[in-house]
Amino acid sequence: MKLEAFVKLAVVLSSPVFALATVIAQRAERASFFFPVSGDFGLFEPSDHVWTLIFMLTLISDPAFTDNVTGGAWADAYAKAVAVVAEMTIEEKVNLTTNKSSSTIEKPTAMVSKEPALRKKLSKRVPAGTTEDTRQFSQGGEDTPRTTQLTGSGVHIAFAPVTGGPLGRSPLDGRNWEGWFVDPYATGIASYLSVKGIQDSGVAAVAKHYIGYEQETFRNPYGDLESYSVFPVNEQLPISSDIDDKTTHEVYLWSFAEAVRAGISHVMCSCNEVNQTFSCNNAYTLNHLLKNELNFQGAVISDWGAQHNNIESVFGGLDVSMPGNVFGGLLGDFWGDNLVADVKNGSVPEYLLDQRVYRVLMPYYHLGQNTTPLPEVIYNANVGYYDQVDRTRNVRQPTTPALIRAIGNSGLTLLKNTGGLPLSLGPDSRVAVLGTDATDNSVGPDGCGAVYESCPTNNINGTLTLGGGSGYAYAPYVVTPLDAIKARAYEDGFEVAPILRDTDVEATVEDILPISNATIVFVSRYSREGEDLTNLTLNRDGDALVAAAVNQSSNVIVVMHTTGVVDIEAWADHENVTAIIAAFLPGMETGNSLADVLFGDVAPSGKLPFTWGKSIDDYPFDQPNTIVSDPVYAPQSNFTEGVFIDYRWFDKHDITPRYEFGFGLSYTTFEYSDIAINTTGQVDTFAIQQTAEPFEAWDGTNSLYDVLFTVIATIKNTGDYTGSEVAQLYVSLPGDDQPVRVLRGFDKVKNIAPRACATATFDVRRKDVSIWSVERGLWYVPDDEITISVGASSRNLPLVSTPGLSSRFLQHLSIFLWQTTTWKSS
């Protein structure tokens, strides 16, 4: 029996059956382990799909793989969508699922945006993530910079936030800089707040990239678009992320659940395969996990180049084909007229098409985009920086620069300080500034010249403010570090001696550095979408630049603008390196943010959102540091480290990092004391859309996200500077297959005066102390004792409590939760 015949028979028998059957059949096409490969089968050869069909007939009524579109919290929008769809033709329905508009609903073409032109260049993953300030994650609501610019440009759908794809499994991933933390809990909190902030303004958010999208190499088989391309067009499969069930739930699905709770309008399925099935027609991950288990009611949108078929993607759970049948088929030519024909000839039941359209329309109605139209669409995504300026509109706000500056300075992470900072320079002082990362780009408007996709490392690119690829944005201006240092020199009277080269500096530094009070060396490391790193080395021989400085100066301050971890072992411990700042990607106010910290106006308070290893070999090594690069037909990335990513891996294998997850110094010091646990439960009032995640103690009235207990700790500022501290809570769950500890809370306590005390508060939810059972397919609180630790980083946890928080106690506690109606926000 051929695949085509199998498809037709499965459709006739049961379309829900086909959803899962397609997954198994596709895997069977190239996975010999699924069927027996030896023996006498008579008419049934190993390549046949009869075995799959027989198995699927036993599941003909199983609802777990159906679309599950009910509206949920969007009941009114669902009713409106159903009524409108009933009046639409097949062609109009298909138009709405293939990146087009429909005259029936008088809906203009939906404007989608990754980065609007002439927008303010905001901070990306770092330092926004390093601030660990929940208020800054949600800077997207009404009258806040991000969505003011989006709505001002007429954007209906913003392709943000990056909700865990990539999460940051490998430090070599070229796209890590677009996300938040290498931790599912923290990324989940950031995603929830970001989604809510965006959608509060009436703009639809998109959680991406779903799921297991953890490398750029081999992500796209559509020809030689990427630097890794070896095979001819469509002769190589995308990289397959092979992930077990426990890891899927406890690591990679976690943050998407939080996005659903925030009422996310759209989810973007990723370019990779998951367990050898294309992400955008994977019935298990889309229909079962996302639409049933997480109860997602919005539309699944394909990433550009992530769709690979017509019929299978309908049954597999895709709702919108992006970018549609455009670009001359460069990224595929699916749906459109193809889907119209498939519906009319019966290959795709029309009710499945209707469900796709319901999901497209519900966010549109729920967010009021039909009753409160956005401004005229003026942003043209297909033009360059210098082209068609009349097609852009200045949507900048006067208050935005101050916010960008504040996010930048609160996210700067001080990694070392033996007396180099803060700087105190008077009229008789001189500061030397080394490196091209301190100044303007010589060939374009900012960090990467006129071509945003690529930032050549052999070019003088100026100070690095963002990574590259589709998440890049041109800035209207950039305040460089040198600009800001000169402005401070104008005020305070000290001299500035810039040496704006990265190589051949020895002769110059011999003259300048010995007569300078301090030397600030600027180094960088760039990465971008479409290409993974091959090492963690600084660009433009940054190690040599630092070496030249420390040979001539005893007070060298190193400032790093990077997209993630870099190797600094050659000089990190050098006695002449008196301070190290990880400034990451601060955006257009980069210089002002840095100057605030350098000169002591603001005490640094950033914390690392990942573990900073000493070597690439410190990270999971079952594969070449988790990036698969062997050019084979069906590349496989086996997530054999399981739940042990980042700090969990370092803890499990007792590896000492350069700097641990959550680490960051200040100009002051803090003391932790007086941990206390309040076991008064509180019901979940934060879910805008409830998930349907199964858990052991469910009684019909409670939630996996109910607060079971609250932890309180005292933080005292024992130093001489006013400072802010990010207190962190970790949970240790019993079991040999569990990490030593997992982050389950953080609270940024701001502006603590010298000798003053403040309180950090952590609400711990049922899910936060639960484990996923693969055997039972649900979350459960373990029977043995749970340990709570609080402190300044993942390896600096002075407060530890084991207060008998066992499964029996917590399940008994849950019966009282319905009586509680408030939840104190942290």
Q: Which residues of 245-266 are buried (b: 16+ CB within 10 A; e: fewer)?
A: ebbbbbbbbbbbbbbbbbbbbb
**Active-site residue (options: 303, 440, 684, 768):** 303
- Residue 221 and residue 209: Cα distance in Å, rounded? 17
Q: How are strands ordered across the β-sheet holding 707-717? A: 670-678, 707-717, 757-765
DSSP 8-state code for residue 778? E
Kindly state the helix (H) or strand (E) to which residue 812 belongs, with its residue range: helix 807-814
Cβ(652)–Cβ(659) below 8 Å: no
In three state form, how does the secondary structure of 518-549 look? EEEEEEEECCECCECCCCCCCHHHHHHHHHHH
Structural contact between residues 115 and 385, judged by C-beta atoms closer than 8 angstroms? no
**CB contact at 8 A, 781 and 697:** yes
Residue 92's φ and ψ, nearest 5 degrees, are -65, -40
Sign of the alpha-carbon dihedral angle for 42, 47, 51, 57: negative
Query: Contact, 260 vs 292, CB < 8 A?
Result: no
- Beta bridge pairs of residue 127: 124
Using DSSP, state whether 219 is helix, strand or coil.
Answer: coil
Distance between CA 422 and CA 579 in Å, rounded? 9
594's tokens: 């840095």
Q: Give the span between the Cα atoms of 44 and 216, in whole angstroms.
A: 39
The string of DSSP letters for 24-40 reads: HHHHHHH-TTSS--SS-
Rounded to whole angstroms, how far apart are CA atoms 292 and 67? 8
CA dist list (Å): 740 to 61, 660, 662: 42, 14, 15
Which of these, 405, 449, 481, 375, lies nearest to 151 by C-alpha position? 375
**Strand 266-269 relative to strand 299-302, pairing:** parallel
> Is the Cβ–Cβ distance between 498 and 475 less than 8 Å?
no
* All residues at 6 or more sequence positions from 588 whose CB lies less than 8 Å from its CB, including other chains: 120, 121, 401, 404, 446, 465, 475, 476, 477, 478, 479
Number of helices (H), then strands (E), belonging to the chain: the values are 22, 24
Q: Which residues lie closer than 8 Å to 748 by C-beta, 6 or more apart?
A: 131, 132, 133, 134, 605, 724, 725, 726, 727
Pairing of strands 778-780, 742-752: unpaired
The amino acid present at 438, given as its one-letter code, is A
Count CB-CB contacts under 10 A for residue 306: 29
**CA-to-CA separations, 204 to 262, 362, 691, 719, in angstroms, rounded:** 12, 11, 19, 45
HSE-up (13 A, CA, CB side) for residue 317 = 38
Residue 173 among the catalytic residues: no
Q: Which residues are catalytic?
A: 303
